Amino acid sequence: NAGVTQTPKFQVLKTGQSMTLQCAQDMNHEYMSWYRQDPGMGLRLIHYSVGAGITDQGEVPNGYNVSRSTTEDFPLRLLSAAPSQTSVYFCASSPGTGLRNTEAFFGQGTRLTVV
Amino acid sequence: KQEVTQIPAALSVPEGENLVLNCSFTDSAIYNLQWFRQDPGKGLTSLLLIQSSQREQTSGRLNASLDKSSGRSTLYIAASQPGDSATYLCAVKTFSGNQFYFGTGTSLTVIP
C-alpha cells in the first residue's frame, strides 16, 4: 500500500539552483496536486492536474513548473530556487477529475531549504 | 476567496478528557470538508470526510460535524490519549476552483 510517494524527503539547495521534486501514486487517481506548507499560513496550492497531459495553476504557481505525462507521476520543478521557496512541499492525489466529493491522500512531504 | 480558521491554535489536555476542535469557513458553498492529522515532520493523514449533504461523520473515538449555514465544523475526540497528540487540520473544497483551502491547524498535546 504505497499510496502517494514523494522523493526526496529532505533537500538543501543554493539560490539559483534548479531541481525536481518527485511524486508518484499507485492508486490510479486522476487528480494530483502540489501544496506548500509554511508556518502560520496553512497549505497553499501550487499546481494541479486533472489527468495526464492536463495541468493548471493554483494559488501560488510562480517559480514552479509541472507536467503530467503519466497518470502515476506528477513532478514539481523549481526553475531557479529562491530563499522564499524554503518550505515543506506536499503532493496529494484523489480519484476522479476533481476533489468534489472524494477524499484526498497526501504524501509524506519534502522539506526544502534554499540557502 | 475562502478563508478557513481554526481555534484554538494550541490545546493541552490531560489524558482521558473529551475535547472539541473548531473550524470555521467564510464561503458556505462547499462540496466537502475533510479533517486531517499531521504528526511532526510527517504528511497528512485523513481522519474524516464530510460531504456537503451530511451533518456528521464518525470513526472510532472521532466525530466530526458540519453546519454549512453557519460555516462551522467541529472535531470531537472522546477519551483522549497521548497518542492523539498531533496537529489537526481542516480543509474545505468549494464550488469554485479545484483545491482544498486549509486552516492553520490546532496543535493538540494530551498529557499522560
Query: What string of pLDDT tens digits covers the 115 residues of chain A?
Result: 679 999 999 999 999 999 999 999 999 998 899 999 998 888 999 999 988 999 999 999 999 999 999 999 999 999 999 999 999 999 999 886 554 557 889 999 999 999 9
How far is A80 from A15, CA to CA, in rounded Å?
Answer: 7
Phi and psi for B38 in degrees, rounded to 5? -130, 120
- At residue B50, the 3 state secondary structure works out as strand
Q: In this predicted structure, what is the pLDDT of residue B88?
A: 98
Considering only CB atoms, A99 lies closest to which of B36, B41, B98, namely: B98
User: Which residue type is seen at B90?
Assistant: C
Distance from B65 to chain A by nearest Cα, in Å? 16
Which of A27, A43, A110 is the best mutation test for B, with the most CBs of B within 10 A?
A43
Cβ within 8 Å of residue A71, ≥6 positions away: A28, A29, A30, A51, A52
- Ranges of chain B whose pLDDT falls below 50: none
CB B6 within 8 Å of CB B90: yes
Q: In this predicted structure, what is the pLDDT of residue A100?
A: 56
CB A32 within 8 Å of CB A54: no
Residue A109: closest C-alpha in chain B: B43
B51 chain-A contacts, CB cut-off 8 A: 101
**Whole-number average pLDDT of chain B:** 93
